[in-house]
Amino acid sequence: MTVKILLAESHGQDTSVLAETVETLKAELSAEIFLAADADEMLRLSQQHDFALLILDETIPSEGERFHIPPLSPATTLLSIIPSGQEPLQSTTGLQGEYIDSIALPLTPSLLLAKIHTLFHIHHLKQELLSCQDALQDQKNKNHQCQLALEQQNHYLNMLSVRDGLTGLFNRRHLSQTLEQEIQKARTQDTDLTMLLIDIDYFNETNRVSGQLFGDSILNEFSARLTQNTRDNDICFRFGGSDFIILLPETGLTKGREYAEKLRLACSDKPFISGRHSRSVSVSIGMVTLLEHHPENQDEFINMADQARYQAKSEGRNRVIAYDQNHVIKDGRIDTVTLLQETLQRILAKTKNSSLASIQILTQNVTGKHQDEHTQKATQHIDLLCERLGLPKTILETFANALTLYSCFRLLLHRELLSKKEKFSYDDRKVINDLPYKLAELTQHFDYFANERNVLLCQGEHYDGSGYPEGLAGEEIPLAARIFSLADGLAAMSSDRPHRKRLNPPEILRELEKGAGTQWDPTLVLLTLDILREHHFFPLDEALLSQTRLLVSKKIAHSSGHTQ
C-alpha cells in the first residue's frame, strides 16, 4: 500500500541528506512525496490527502510568525527538522493522540531514515488503534440497540403476561395481583371498592350453534363495550371463558349498581354481528362491595361475587344481583329452584366422572394399557402452563378430561398403528390426521363433553395454518387447543416411542425453537422454556437454553411487527 508523505521544503538550506532520504523512501516503500513551499500550500495539500508523515522544516519562512500546522488525520505523525540548539515547534492542531518528534541539524542519512521508519511504525500502530476504537464504538452502538430491543421485548412480554390473548383485557393472573392492591388501597384511604362479576348468558350454546369463531367475536366485541362504558380508573379483566370482572374503585353499592345496569344495557340493547351471524346477548352480573359485605380476603371477595352472579342466572339471567348471604332463604323457605339447580349440577358432575372412568376401564380391558408416560407428562406440562397463565380450575378439569379421552380413544382406534416400530407412512399419517374428526364424533354422544370436544377437534391445528383438520392459524386456534398441542408435543419428545427413543435435551430445545411460530404458539413456547428452567425436568445447558429463548423472542417480535 502506497504511503503519502508531506514535505515542507526548506529554502536556502542544505537538503541533500533529505533529498537522498526521500529517494530511498520512494524505492523502499513506494512512497508518494508531496512538497509544500509555504503554509498555504501545506493547508491545501492536507485537505486533499491523508498523509502518514509530515516532515516539517521549521526554518521555512513564516514572515516572523510561528509556523501554523494545519489540521491533519489523527493517524498522521510529525517530524520537525530544527536548527541545533533550538526548541522544537509545538503543534497547534489540538488532535488527541497526535505524535510529534524532532531531529536537529545537521542531518545524517542513517539517523534520518531510522527516525522516519520509527514514525511509520507509530503511524501504523495509530491506524490500528483508531480502527479498534471505531470497532469498539460500533459495538457499543450495537450493544445499545440490542439493549433497547431487549427492553422493548421485555416490555412486550410483560404486557403479554398480564393480558388476555383474545380480548386484550387484563387476565386472571393480573387480577390476583391487582385485587389485593386495590383492597389495601381502599382500606388505607377508607374508601369503598365494588366488584362486578359478569357472565355472558348462554354463551356455550352460542358457540355450539354459531361456531367458536363467532363466539370469539362476541368476546372481543363485549370486551370493547366494557372498556367504552367504564371510567378511566376502573379495571377490566377476563376471568375465564365467558366470565369477566370489573373493579370499581371508590364506588359503593348504589353507584356500583348504576354502573352495572349501564353495562348490562350496553350489552343487551345492541346485537352482536359478525359476518352472516347476528345474535342478541344478555349478561348476568353479580355485585359485591368492600364496605357493605366485608370480605376477609380477595378469595372471599371473588366467591361472594360468584354467588351473586349464580343467583342472577338462577333468577332468570339478564339482571344485576348484589351479594346476599341469605339469598337461598325466601320468606322463611328454602329456594327450591336454587337447591334443585345445585343438586342437578352435582349429579351431572358425577355422571361425567363415571363416563370417564368407564372409558378408561374399557381401554384397559381392550388394550391392556391405562395411562402411559406420555399422558402423565402432558398432564404435568398443561398444569404448569395453566398455572403460569392464571387459568381457572375448570379449565384444568377440561384439559384433564380431554387428555383422558384423547389417550383412550386413540388407543382404541389405532392401537396397532401406534405400536409400529417404523416411521408412519403417508397412508398412516392420513389415518392419524382424521383422528380429530373421529374424536369429535365420539364425544358427541356426551353433551357434557362439549368443551373437551372443542379442544380435541383443534389440537392438530398448527400456529402457521399448516395443521389439520381445518387449517386454522394463530389466534383462530382456541387457546386451550394451543396449550394442549404444545404440551402433547413436549411430552412426545421427552418420552420413548415405538419407532424412536426420546430426544435428548438439546434436541428438545431445537425442536421447540423450530416449532415456535410454525406448529406452536411462540408465546406459549417461551413460557414453556421458563418452566423447563424452573422445574428441571431434565438437565439443560444454560447457554443453549438462553440462546433458544432469544431466538423464540425474536420470532415473537417479528410476528408482532407484521401484525401491527
Query: What is the rounded CA–CA span in Å between residue 223 and residue 237?
Result: 9
DSSP, res 170: B
Look up residue 109 and give its three cell numbers. 542519512
pLDDT in single tens digits along all 564 residues of the chain: 678 888 876 544 556 777 777 778 777 777 788 888 777 788 888 888 888 888 877 654 444 444 566 677 777 888 878 777 766 655 544 444 457 777 877 777 888 888 888 888 888 888 888 889 889 999 999 988 888 888 888 777 776 678 888 898 999 888 988 999 999 999 999 999 999 999 998 887 777 667 788 889 999 999 999 999 999 999 999 998 899 999 999 999 999 999 999 999 999 888 898 887 788 889 999 999 999 999 989 999 999 999 899 888 878 889 999 998 765 444 444 455 555 555 566 566 667 667 777 777 777 766 655 446 677 788 788 888 887 887 766 677 777 778 777 777 777 776 666 666 666 666 666 666 667 767 767 776 676 677 777 777 787 888 998 887 778 888 888 888 888 889 888 888 887 766 678 889 899 999 999 999 899 999 999 999 988 888 887 888 888 989 998 998 888 887 665 444
Q: How far apart are CA 369 and CA 362, in angstroms?
A: 10
pLDDT of residue 15: 62
The pLDDT assigned to 333 comes to: 44
Q: Return the domain boundaries, the chain.
A: 4-132, 172-327, 338-502
Q: Give the whole-angstrom CA distance, residue 307 versus residue 291.
A: 18
Which top CATH class is 4-132?
Answer: alpha beta
Long-range contacts of 421-428 (CB under 8 A, 24+ apart): 421/498, 421/499, 422/499, 423/499, 424/499
Same fold, 172-327 and 338-502: no
* Other CB atoms within 10 Å distance of the CB of residue 100: 17
Looking at the domain covering 338-502, what would its CATH class be? mainly alpha
The CATH class of 172-327 is alpha beta
Give me the sign of the Cα torsion angle 291, 295, 296, 301. negative
* pTM across the whole model: 0.41
Which of 215, 130, 99, 100 is CA-nearest to residue 166? 215
